[in-house]
Amino acid sequence: MPLHIRLTVLGHGDAATGVDVEVAAPADTPLDAVLGSLAATVAPGSAAPGSVYCEDQRLDPRQALLGRPPLVDGAVLAFHRPLEGPGREPVPATLLVVSGPDAGGVHLLRGGEARIGRSADADIPLNDPDVSRVHCALALAPDGTVTVTDLGSTNGTLLNGAPVRRGPQPVRSGSLLRLGESVLRVVTAGAPEQPPPAAPAAPAERSARRGLTGWALGRLGGQEADAPQGPAAAPPRAEPAESRWPDPATLLLTALDAGPRLWERSAAHPDAFTVRLGTVQQAPGVLPPVTVALPRAGSLGLAGPRERITGVARSVLAQLAGLHPPSALQLVALAVDRARDWSWLGWLPHLRPAAGQDCRLLLAFDPRQAAARARELTELLARPHPGRRTVVLVDGDPGDAQARAALTRLAAEGPAAGIHLLVLGETPQPGGLPVGQTLAAANVAAPLLRSCGAVAVLSGPVATALRLTGPAGDAGPTAGADAVSPAWAERFARALAPVGEEVAGAPPAPAVTALPETCRLLDALELSRVTPTALRERWSRHSGLPLVLGTGTQGPAALDLAEARGPLAVDGGAGTGRTELLCALAASLAAAQEPDALSLLLVEGSGEGLRPCAELPHVTSYLGATDPVRMRAFAQALREELKRRAALLGEVDFTAARRRGGRVVALRSAAEEGAPAAEIGALPWLVVLVDDYDALTSPALGAPGRPAAGSVVRALETAAREGQRLGVRLIAAGDVPGAEIRVALSGRPPGRAELRPASGAVTAFQAGRVTARIPRTSTLRPTVSRLDWARAGDPPARRPVRELGNGPTDVALLASAAARAARTDHAGRAATATLV
Ligand SMILES: Nc1ncnc2c1ncn2[C@@H]1O[C@H](COP(=O)(O)OP(=O)(O)OP(=O)(O)O)[C@@H](O)[C@H]1O
């Protein structure tokens, strides 16, 4: 399968205007192969650059492979000169902004004095309205001691609750500094109770902000907010309540280092889906967090001026994404015309459509996308994902009446199905309103707030004070809200973009990707070049009946038909791809077992759709629905075959016997431990494929096979009922009785389907094709395209697949290779008897 990675390329000239691109290429393509296209995409007409860097590391384009570190999803490439990196030396001290309106900053102190203040000229700028332009200074002495001095600030500086005077005061590791509404924690590497910084790190100097963050600030048009730096020091040891809900700075470090806390919360975790909104300044040195448990609250609202509520929403979404794996959390954003504020979410793996949604990312920045997301969420109400919750950001009106109605329904019924809304209620004033008035104004702007079990209201003179209201909110004192900047969010989300679930200790799973628009079955089978040798190798490997149906979001969609306890039914309307899927299933089975070990019977209810598979050497009978005499003979032969099997096997279950007894020979004594094996004859698996069953049960008036269709149906019913134990399986398009596994084709695009086993999770997949003549090279050429975040919620671009009018189909290639493989395999062995 080709690999898709998203990169940001900083080209010539102004490094602040990077271009996000998507590269599709076969795995392990060297950067060299796409460098020219990358340059031309960033600046039309320009050639491949002489030197290329990934952040501060120079790359050799012939050696650096796409998809391998550092060229992973979310990486930033710079042409001609490196981006300034964090440096490699250990850092003596770190300053973490752990709470407040501009939280999340991680500043690495290397020595000398660092001035903190609201001014853009401060060494550590803090976007907090209650902080003075130049507020206080931290000094790091050569012996590692840290001191703080207040520089005449209006609101003063508190060190562990006590006012800091003008003269320098020593700061012990772990101390909390309070400036305005911001709380900062100082961590020194030398302090015995602190773990050493994990390095590499950057100095807290203005020049350091020319790195990714400086660039990110420029492109986001954000204020000169606090600049997160990293990867960096280990987080400080905190109070239990604080560490239970990590502060934004600790969260950023966790994401940058893929630390042990990353994705620590599955659905069963006691703190799953509980988010921290801010902290209460209580006793000196203690910061009790204010939290909301989404499962209890249902939905969460944020009310207040836009700048403040978007900052808190970023912090809430980052916590959810940092602590919960994509297998436990799906994120969706409905923010019409607000791509600029929320496109950073697109880097998070939690927004990839893992349940077959027809879009590139679960984002909605226009009314059409909002309508599509609302439809998908409404469908989820009826069929919730077991063990996975969905959090939906709702920012503004969706711009579509049906989407509006769907959101109202989701607010009421969603929580019971694991769907929680995060509703932004924007008030017009920049602040200064009391809690009640802020809430009233927000309710007018966002009526959905009324359905939220908890609403965090940001009020006070500069709207940094947070109060929880609503039945499920932890009623408590006014807290300082935790908000993070757009640059912080961008850095955080990029750090998670390439992370696979196994990093966090979960069972290994390939990265979740969107479903492709088409899938070549032979690629999904890893038989891109189908040769007799490759087939013989596969045949020797398999014992059951492994079926590969196509490509899912996490690799091939597959099941073992040997394990199935009833027929497999393929449902879908005309033209959805049922016949093609049956052909793919026949091909998939033929690739799994040699003809001696598996017989396929193809039965047409109407038409001749299965004919391309008749060439497979496994096919012992191909029955059209036009000749009553042949149809009756077939029904009779199938019934007799069932009887023969029952007589041969006696009490023995075919499945168990075959597992013990090799490829084609069943053993009477299979169930008896240690008993001598008794050979009872050649008995291959028998799989009957029917297209379609409904046309046989109610044949069209005047259909030539009509008089005999009933006898075929009765024989098939017997096979479905009694064949199970006898090594007989039935696969049919249509409503076959007793179906245990269902495949539902939606047909949008053709071959798009869901696998629905009787028990277990539903898997969305794109069915594999075998009868088309697809130029195989078309999937192998690397392509580079500009990423337009506003369009990320659209269905993936469907390039019409050019089908060549000549040349063999994949099923023909497979049939020819299988025939040659069987012939070679057979030298010296008796030919198999034709069963039916
Ligand atoms: N897996 C697939 N990938 C891409 N295209 C497909 C796929 N399956 C089917 N198609 C396209 O859809 C068309 C209809 O497919 P198919 O004949 O299998 O549908 P059907 O459900 O059997 O419909 P009908 O019963 O009307 O024949 C095919 O001609 C093919 O172009």
Alpha carbon distances (Å) from 199 to 210, 247, 605, 750, 758:
19, 20, 68, 51, 51
Q: Is the CB of 751 under 6 A from ligand 1?
A: yes
Q: Is 134 helix (H, G, I), strand (E, B) or coil?
A: coil
- Buried residues in 502-512 as b, exposed as e (16+ CB within 10 A): ebbebeeeebb
Per-residue pLDDT, 2: 66
- Among protein residues, the one whose CA lies closest to atom 8 of ligand 1: 577
CA gap 832, 379 in Å, rounded = 50
Q: Which H or E run includes 6?
A: strand 3-10
Q: Which H or E run includes 362?
A: none
pTM (two decimals): 0.66
402, two tokens: 């049906």
CA gap 596, 540 in Å, rounded = 12
Q: Is the CB of 516 under 6 A from ligand 1?
A: no
Amino acid symbol at 252? L
Longest Cα–Cα distance in the chain: 106
Q: Which atom of ligand 1 is nearest to the CA of 572?
A: 21
Closest to 15 in 3D by CA, of 72, 73, 79 = 79
Per-residue pLDDT, 308: 95
What's the length of the chain?
836
∠ CA 568-571-577, nearest 5°, is 105
Q: Which residues of the chain have pLDDT under 50?
A: 191-239, 472-474, 503-512, 659-666, 668-671, 676, 777-778, 800-802, 828-836
Q: Is 569 helix (H, G, I), strand (E, B) or coil?
A: strand
Q: Which H or E run includes 763?
A: strand 763-769
Pairing of strands 419-426, 300-304: parallel
Per-residue pLDDT, 735: 92
Per-residue pLDDT, 555: 83
Distance 800 CA to ligand 1 centre (A): 14
Per-residue pLDDT, 186: 94
Q: What was the ipTM of the complex prediction?
A: 0.96
Per-residue pLDDT, 139: 95
Sorted by sequence, the CB contacts under 8 Å of residue 574 that are 6+ apart come out as none
457, two tokens: 């209201």
Per-residue pLDDT, 433: 80
DSSP states of 210-256 as a string?
GSHHHHHHHHHT--S------S-PPPPP--HHHHHS--HHHHHHHHH
Q: Is the CB of 580 under 6 A from ligand 1?
A: yes
The reply to whether 573 sits in an annotated binding site is yes
Q: Which atom of ligand 1 is nearest to the CA of 576?
A: 21
Q: Which H or E run includes 646?
A: helix 628-649
220, two tokens: 């986001």
- DSSP 3-state helix, strand, coil percentages of the chain (rounded to 5)? 30, 25, 45
The reply to whether 572 sits in an annotated binding site is yes
Amino acid symbol at 438? T
Closest to 740 in 3D by CA, of 748, 749, 731, 728 = 731
How many Cβ atoms sit within 10 Å of the Cβ of residue 120?
Answer: 12
Q: Which H or E run includes 681?
A: strand 679-682
Q: Is the CB of 22 under 6 A from ligand 1?
A: no
Amino acid symbol at 427? T
How deeply is 793 buried, as exposed, middle or buried, from its count of CB atoms within 10 A (0-12, 13-18, 19+)? buried
Closest to 461 in 3D by CA, of 178, 101, 135 = 101
